[in-house]
Structure 1
Amino acid sequence: MSVESLHTTADAIIPHPRWRLPVFGDVFGISIRTPVQNSMEIGRQLGPIFERNILGNKFVFASGADMVAELSDETRFAKHLAPGVASLREVGGDGLFTAYNHEPNWSKAHNLLAPAFTKSAMRSYHRTMLDVAGELTQHWDQRVDGTPVDVSSDMTKLTLETIGRTGFSYSFDSFTRERPHPFVQAMVGALSHSQRTTFVKSTALGRLLARRSDRRNVANLEHMAEVVDEVIRARRDSAEAGPEDLLELMLRAARENDPNRIDELNIRHQVVTFLVAGHETTSGALSFALYYLSRHPDVLAKAQAEVDAVWGDDEPAFEQIAKLRYVRRVLDESLRLWPTAPAYGREATVDTTLVGKYPMKVGDWVLVLIPALHRDPVWGENPEEFDPDHFLPERNRSRPAHVYKPFGTGERACIGRQFALHEAVLVLGTILRRYDIVGDPGYRLKVAERLTLMPEGFTLRIRRR
């Protein structure tokens, strides 16, 4: 969709980087590997709305609290599949995350799967989450006072195993493997390819240059499809009744001719979507939270004290997870600074004007740059500072609406939000109760981007408490 009309009025000029070239646009200073952090830096220079032109493709970024509040108005705006997300249709097809608004399978799958994220359903996942967290601690116990643990790698193992078992009753044997599961390797390759080639493939020359990379990506996509097809085939061929999980909901709807039934190809797309989105973002959130805990001993001590007081020595019941209110604030603050799904697109559904200055016609779209929104002045004088007390109840009430968006917005917001939060708080509580964690004092946070965000090269030394 065009964003042309967003910068046509004399009183609403949208700034852009200084050194713009004919044809090539704003190629000076572009970073293919870290486009989110690159755009954050440009936003710091140009303000809460700016434009980037990459080889004739125009992108408008917005992060001002007032702008995002208006973009969250579902009577004027809807989800837009920005190029980076649209490119993931190679992976997820018309799954919940990558479907266009007009595609019928989105609403069918949403209606079909929403019951899997009710409170009663969440309660049924609690046992599995505890079991997988126990496998993590068994793995880490072998490294106490020894080799540092690779945090991002282990959080990825944990969250993949959790969504595999809770959603599809399928184990990836994540903690018994020497190397990451091939599905993870293929997924990382596919996500990285999508990010690196989004801009490059916008021209005929770029598409030609990307052919070799495309061929490698086909192999990754085929492997992911094979893994998912095996998950589905194992369930379908089983003589026993399937457990009440996401996969069973989809297969039973097909068997019983439910009006929300989806075909076999879309079942694959939904499984891929949940396997990718259901673990990639949560593993990043856990990794960032552990990074900040390791850098703030006072916060770490307070979080550990809360876990000790609320959980004691017993295995935590479902209701006790939500009682870790300070741990939850640590997680929320980590997602404020580094929301692991860092941007989303919003498209005008009517002719309108954004904040009374920027005319938008039907189909015009902008990208909400979430890390920049989460550093808006409404967060105080030092928005770069890690402070879990940003999420004290009284501060939450005093802030404007729509300034915290780690799960997106509107009807297309993350369906698995409560699942992710329950899992993440449970895992953090498990780690904090069992270990003292020590980061490498020489490490400086490096954020890897593969459409999602993740600390790179971050390790911890662990000691039993």
Structure 2
Amino acid sequence: MAQTTRAAAGHDGPAAPPPRGFRSAELGWPELHRIPHPPHRLPLLGDVVGAGVRTPIQDSMRIAERLGPIFRRKAFGKEFVFVWGAGLAADLADESRFAKHVGLGVANLRPIAGDGLFTAYNHEPNWQLAHDILAPGFSRDAMAGYHPLMLDVARQLTTRWDERESAGRAVDVPGDMTKLTLETIARTGFGHDFGSFERTAPHPFVTAMVGTLSFAQRRNVMPPPLAPLLLRGANRRNDADMDHLNSTVDAVVAARRAADGSGAHGDLLDRMLDVAHPESGERLSAENIRRQVITFLVAGHETTSGALSFALHYLSRSPDVLTRARAEVDEVWGRDGEPAYEQVAKLRYLRRVLDESLRLWPTAPGFAREAREDTVLGGEHPMRRGAWALVLATMLHRDPAAWGEDPERFDPDRFAPSAVRARPAHVFKPFGTGARACIGRQFALHEATLVLGLLLRRYDLHADPAYRLRVAERLTLMPDGLTLRLTRRAPAA
């Protein structure tokens, strides 16, 4: 979920959407020819040899290994510059020279999310207004208020997992994490219960959400001249998915408006409906409230469910790490009772496990940055005002210059305080960077650490020895087909 840039504070950001017919020659990289691209580039088609429609991020990772810390890809007349070297990524993190760029799949979400926090262009005023109104909803006091609801949703998950464990059946990790995180953001943020754990199939909201994300991903890799023909049926389904998302959110907002209006929930929706900007007195419009609710419901659960799923995958295959993390949970929380809000942050090693999982597979796998003014990236690559590049976080998090010669190895001690201090800045970016980094990152980290601690305290995790990690891409990343078998831990002596 996105935060704001300095543009609304009086700085004119260069982030207007590119004009129709935007071509590679107008990318704003005067010396684009100096940036390597894959071999076997075809006329008109570009770098499509070996490209996969369903796995563009993982394809780009393979290309990055061959071409180095900056490279470009071209497809059907559109060319993109990718950056993953630690030094170049640190340069792009300079807020005085670069800002968020809304491009690629993010722009494809604007039909549903519009000028919501994540999809707003820098020059649009509503994101600054929304950020200033909603930021107090992620304060420490607000987070402490969400904690009991998080525990309640986690109890629904463990009830479900107890039933599966008793029946000797494996659990669908991504599916159940999606139910958990959807219910958590819906209940804490908007006072709404989707009843996800009472369903055998995903809630229709989730189905519609996955449909819109997948459609945006397909549009990224579809030849523009052929898109109307090739996506005709998908367009109709996407329209239906967007209608469902809109109608669901409208019903949630209408139910709150029909209540007593006292603001008694004190949640994000109350702030959207009742709170004016502290300086200007402006309020969010009904249309923007809808867009913000959709943004929070989608971004607030999709990425966290992926982070939890990857963490459980690595824990189940790393016995020493799991033993150490569980020992910390038992020591800090004890074997019985529910942890208090303050106890979650004390699980420092378990937090390292989560960070290391996000390093290897940041569920938001990249973010785009654009030049505020003419500049030179890394002292070598000239960029005109508005030129942009995609920071490939999955590869930035594997750069040997920052992470050593074995970056594929899962090692939570990479996030021990001494190791963090020894690393260069700006090499770990699972939540984006700068002023528009994820506004809900502390919410997500608290939720994920709490849930992992509860699960480790309650269950032994048994991986399927035949499973090999497959990563599904739908703008976000998620383990595909991950299941685990469970055994309830013996009671404390």
TM class by shorter chain equals over 0.9
Superposition pairs of residues 218-257 of structure 1, within 5 angstroms: 218-239=239-260, 241-242=262-263, 243-253=265-275
Q: What whole-Å deviation, never above 9, does each CA across 1:117-139 have from its counterpart, x for those lacking one?
A: 01111010000011111111011
Equivalent residue number for residue 431 of structure 1: 455
Aligned partner (choices 360, 366, 370) of residue 393 of structure 2: 370
2:181 is paired with a residue of what secondary structure? helix
- Work out the CA distance in 1 between the residues paired with 2:294 and 2:365: 20
Measured after TM superposition, the shift of residue 203 of structure 1 is 2.0
Aligned Cα root-mean-square deviation (Å): 1.6
Distance 1:254 1:227, change over 3 A: farther
Measured after TM superposition, the shift of residue 455 of structure 1 is 0.3
Tell whether the 8 Å contact from 2:28 to 2:386 is kept in structure 1 after alignment: no
Aligned partner (choices 289, 314, 317) of residue 292 of structure 1: 314
Equivalent residue number for residue 351 of structure 2: 328
Aligned partner (choices 210, 217, 224) of residue 195 of structure 1: 217
Within the alignment, does 1:118 sit opposite 2:139 as a pair? yes
Aligned partner (choices 12, 36, 39) of residue 57 of structure 2: 36
Aligned partner (choices 80, 83, 91) of residue 62 of structure 1: 83
Tell whether the 8 Å contact from 2:174 to 2:309 is kept in structure 1 after alignment: yes
Tell whether the 8 Å contact from 2:304 to 2:448 is kept in structure 1 after alignment: yes
- Work out the CA distance in 2 between the residues paired with 1:255 and 1:111: 7
Tell whether the 8 Å contact from 2:30 to 2:384 is kept in structure 1 after alignment: no
Measured after TM superposition, the shift of residue 447 of structure 1 is 0.3
Equivalent residue number for residue 442 of structure 1: 466
Equivalent residue number for residue 420 of structure 1: 444
Matching residue's letter, 2:143: M
Tell whether the 8 Å contact from 2:371 to 2:384 is kept in structure 1 after alignment: yes
More moved, 256-265 vs 282-291: 256-265
Measured after TM superposition, the shift of residue 388 of structure 1 is 0.2
Tell whether the 8 Å contact from 1:148 to 1:461 is kept in structure 2 after alignment: yes
- Work out the CA distance in 2 between the residues paired with 1:209 and 1:447: 25
1:344 is paired with a residue of what secondary structure? strand
Aligned partner (choices 173, 176, 181) of residue 195 of structure 2: 173
Measured after TM superposition, the shift of residue 173 of structure 1 is 0.7
- Work out the CA distance in 1 between the residues paired with 2:421 and 2:409: 20
Q: What whole-Å deviation, never above 9, does each CA across 1:92-146 have from its counterpart, x for those lacking one?
A: 1110000000000010000000000011110100000111111110110001151
Measured after TM superposition, the shift of residue 3 of structure 1 is 6.2
User: Matched residue pairs, number?
Assistant: 463
More moved, 255-264 vs 392-401: 255-264
- Work out the CA distance in 2 between the residues paired with 1:241 and 1:147: 46
Within the alignment, does 1:21 sit opposite 2:45 as a pair? no
Measured after TM superposition, the shift of residue 204 of structure 1 is 2.4
More moved, 144-153 vs 289-298: 144-153
Matching residue's letter, 1:232: V
1:143 is paired with a residue of what secondary structure? helix
Equivalent residue number for residue 3 of structure 2: none
- Work out the CA distance in 2 between the residues paired with 1:240 and 1:103: 29
* % identical aligned pairs: 62
Distance 1:46 1:6, change over 3 A: farther
- Work out the CA distance in 2 between the residues paired with 1:256 and 1:349: 28
Tell whether the 8 Å contact from 1:172 to 1:181 is kept in structure 2 after alignment: yes
Tell whether the 8 Å contact from 1:3 to 1:364 is kept in structure 2 after alignment: no
Equivalent residue number for residue 6 of structure 2: none
Superposition pairs of residues 316-465 of structure 1, within 5 angstroms: 316-377=339-400, 378-465=402-489
Aligned partner (choices 285, 291, 298) of residue 263 of structure 1: 285
1:167 is paired with a residue of what secondary structure? helix
Tell whether the 8 Å contact from 1:6 to 1:358 is kept in structure 2 after alignment: no
- Work out the CA distance in 2 between the residues paired with 1:205 and 1:276: 29
- Work out the CA distance in 2 between the residues paired with 1:125 and 1:422: 10
More moved, 87-96 vs 251-260: 251-260
Measured after TM superposition, the shift of residue 244 of structure 1 is 0.3
Q: What whole-Å deviation, never above 9, does each CA across 1:371-420 have from its counterpart, x for those lacking one?
A: 00000011011000000000000000010000000000011100000000
- Work out the CA distance in 2 between the residues paired with 1:257 and 1:330: 41
Measured after TM superposition, the shift of residue 38 of structure 1 is 0.6
Within the alignment, does 1:160 sit opposite 2:182 as a pair? yes
Measured after TM superposition, the shift of residue 9 of structure 1 is 3.5
Within the alignment, does 1:307 sit opposite 2:329 as a pair? yes
Aligned partner (choices 226, 238, 249) of residue 217 of structure 1: 238
Taking structure 1 as the reference length, what is the TM-score of the superposition? 0.97
- Work out the CA distance in 2 between the residues paired with 1:327 and 1:247: 31
Aligned partner (choices 196, 199, 208) of residue 186 of structure 1: 208
Aligned partner (choices 204, 225, 238) of residue 225 of structure 2: 204
Tell whether the 8 Å contact from 2:73 to 2:80 is kept in structure 1 after alignment: yes
Tell whether the 8 Å contact from 2:138 to 2:440 is kept in structure 1 after alignment: yes
- Work out the CA distance in 1 between the residues paired with 2:230 and 2:206: 26
Tell whether the 8 Å contact from 2:101 to 2:368 is kept in structure 1 after alignment: yes
Tell whether the 8 Å contact from 2:194 to 2:203 is kept in structure 1 after alignment: yes
- Work out the CA distance in 2 between the residues paired with 1:119 and 1:239: 27
2:389 is paired with a residue of what secondary structure? strand
- Work out the CA distance in 1 between the residues paired with 2:449 and 2:95: 30
Give the unaligned 5+ runs of structure 1: none
